[in-house]
C-alpha cells in the first residue's frame, strides 16, 4: 500500500526540484509538536523516499536535518 501511495505522489511531481520545493513547504508548516506534526512528517518522508528510495532500508542515508534520527529508534 505504501508503494502505491509513493507511486501516486511521484505522478504529482515532475522533477527532483519540485519534490524538494514541496518538502520545504511542508517543513515550514511544522509546529514542533510530534503529535500534531505526525502526518506532515510522514508526507515529508514519503517525498524523500521518491528522491532516495534507499532511505527505507538505510535511514542513515537520509539527511534528517530536522526530523528525528531513524524515527527515534
The DSSP string of 50-61 is: HH-GGGGT-GGG
**What domain count does the chain have?**
1
Rounded to two decimals, the pTM is 0.71
Cell (9 digits) for 52: 532516495
Which residue range(s) make up the domain with 57? 2-72
Confidence of residue 1 (pLDDT cuts 50, 70, 90): very low
**CA angle, 31 as apex, 28 and 26 as ends, to 5°?**
30
Cell (9 digits) for 44: 515529508
Instruction: Dump strand ranges (E) for 1-73.
Output: none
Kindly report the average pLDDT of the chain as a whole number: 81
pLDDT in tens, 19-45: 999 999 999 999 999 899 999 999 999
Res 14: pLDDT: 81
Amino acid at each position: 500500500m505504501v508503494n502505491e501511495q509513493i507511486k501516486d505522489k511521484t505522478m504529482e511531481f515532475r522533477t527532483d526540484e519540485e519534490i524538494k520545493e514541496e518538502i520545504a513547504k511542508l517543513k515550514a508548516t511544522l509546529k514542533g509538536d510530534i503529535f500534531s506534526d505526525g502526518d506532515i512528517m510522514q508526507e515529508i518522508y514519503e517525498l524523500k523516499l521518491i528522491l532516495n528510495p534507499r532511505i527505507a532500508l538505510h535511514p542513515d542515508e537520509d539527511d534528517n536535518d530536522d526530523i528525528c534520527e531513524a524515527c527515534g529508534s
